[in-house]
Amino acid sequence: MPERVPLHWHLARWRREAPGPRGLLWIAAVTLLLMLPVERFGADLSWATQARILVNLGVALAAIAIGRDAGRPDDAERWLLLQGQSPADWALARWVANLLPLALLAVLWAAIVFTVTALTQEQPMPWSGVLGLALHLALTAMLLTLILLTLGCLGARQTAEGMMLLLILTFLLPLVADRLPAVVADGARLVLPPLDAIATFRDAATDGAWRELLNAALRLATWSGVLLALALTAANRRVPARPSRVSVTSG
Amino acid sequence: MTHDLLVCEDLQVVYADGTAALRGVHLTLGAGIVGLVGANGAGKTTLLRVLAGILAPSAGRALIGGRSAIAHRVAVGVGSIPDAARLPAYLTVEGFLDGLRRAAGSPGETAVEAEIRHALDIDGLAQRPLPALSLGQRRRVELAAALIGDPDLLLLDEPTNGLDPLAMTALRSGLRAARRRDRLIIVSSHHLDELQRIADWIVLMHEGRIVASEAAAAMLARGPSLEEVFMTAAGGAGA
């Protein structure tokens, strides 16, 4: 019975190559920034809020650094294709292998934010806040890596730029939704990444609001499921390559 | 040679830019070592990609053991060295070959695989990281990788490119060890003297078509060397 080797190889890649000296330096730099209890974005924001913004940016950048090539054809993948394994298996394993370290990074940064607030702030962050922050970061990483994977599987070269465009549109939508026809605004809400559902999920989880939690989870699961199905279908359509439907007359 | 393992019927490949790489290939081959000869752009690599099931033809069909090349790859795998693909930089030789073996569903190294590994002289490389291999070692590891899963079809595109004479000898030994009654090995190469030494059958391609396909001995009887026969056939087809 053939085994699913892709995840094994992706994890080997992580052990041997990633994040590498540059990646480690970058993670250490963000971590160090987090540990300095200084004002960063202005006096109106509390230190904890500023730290949340910083780690969200950090996760977005880490997702881009790790996942921007995820949906593209890979040298190792070509060898496994010849053994009959599917490109979708490879893409799925790569997404999972990218997500695991990002989730660990989310937990690490949330723990640092908690520790620094506990040591330096008058009102330390509660445990539920730390868990909420870790959950928020991990779910954000999941959505962002999924977008990068899907764009790559669909053949996009500028996956990071495509993802940034989607994020900008997501942030702009609440500002312009009133001026758009209702059907367009509703359609955009369905298509664009449900970042607001992550915030709702986090708040509902920490407040114990189960109805909202379920609604947000359902929205996240549906959006992610559709995107993942699109990515894996696109990956499988890549091999065999279809050069052209046009034929030449032989003879 | 029994002609029943590979059947190509009016195989055509036209790339999106309009380039016709295969212009109606008709070919029937059985087990043995087949030398695929042709100038650059003759369509050799495209033909091998179609036979490997990683490129769909624009028209016509390629059947391997009665199945389409794509279905054959998905069902049992195909022995091939992917064109332009490098070896994964993060694996050792053993990790790479073991991963492919598990992907192919093999419980462990077979006696035949061990014999080929020995013939290819890669026994001492098991723990070496793949990027640390020399070109000759890499080619031999690639051939060992292509033979994993005991494929009935082995496709090799220019396997001797850039090899020194010692590495070529090891590769030739590996190919001879890989020869068996029900396996078709197609080797595309510009080293015609090398093909002359190992091939049972020769296929000449020119501008996307097969211009000759016959037993190596019969083809060599038509001229002093394979190179001369190829030049004559290509000249005749181009005229």
Q: What is the pLDDT of residues A22-79, one digit of tens each?
A: 777 877 887 777 766 665 555 567 777 777 888 888 899 889 988 888 888 888 888 9
Average pLDDT, chain B: 86
Task: Please tell me the distance from the alpha carbon of residue A216 to that of residue A198, in angstroms, as a whole number.
Answer: 7
pLDDT beyond 90 at B71:
yes
Would the CB atoms of B82 and A16 count as touching at under 8 Å?
Answer: no
Give the pLDDT confidence of A167-219 residue by residue, as tens digits.
Answer: 999 999 999 988 999 999 999 999 999 999 999 999 898 888 899 999 999 99
Burial of A15-47, coded b for 16+ CB within 10 Å and e otherwise, reads eeebbeeeeeebbeebeeebeeeeeeeeeeeeb
Interface probe for A, chosen from B46, B73, B154 (most Cβ of A below 10 Å), is B73
Helix locations, A68-194, DSSP H: 75-82, 87-120, 127-153, 159-176, 182-191
Helix (H) or strand (E) holding B8: strand B6-14
Cβ distance of B102 and A3 shorter than 8 Å: yes
* Locus of tokens 């091998």: B48
Adjacent-strand bridge partners of B153: B184
Neighboring chain A residues of B74 at a CB cutoff of 8 Å:
84, 86
Q: Does A17 touch chain B (CB under 8 A)?
A: yes
Evaluate whether ipTM surpasses 0.90.
no
| Whole-prediction pTM | 0.85
Q: Strand order in B67-68's β-sheet?
A: B20-29, B6-14, B59-64, B67-68
Closest of B91, B48, B89, B53 to residue B73, by C-alpha? B53
Shortest Cα–Cα distance, B201 to chain A (Å)? 24
Grouping H, G, I as helix, E, B as strand and the rest as coil, residue B10 is: strand
- Please report, as a single letter, which amino acid is at residue A119: L
Kind and range of the H or E run holding A53: helix A47-67
Closest CB to B74: pick one of A84, A245, A251: A84
How distant is the Cα of B25 from the closest Cα of chain A, in angstroms?
A: 8
Cβ atoms of B151 and B76 within 8 Å: the answer is yes
Phi, psi of B63 (to 5 degrees): -115, 135
Using only C-alpha atoms, what is the Rg of chain A?
21
DSSP conformation class of B129: B
Number of Cβ within 10 Å of residue A115's Cβ equals: 15
* Site of tokens 């369905």: A190
Q: Which residues pair with B64 in a beta bridge?
A: B6, B67
Distance from CA of A22 to the nearest CA of B (A): 17
A5/B100 CB distance under 8 A: yes
**CA A230 centroid distance within chain:** 16
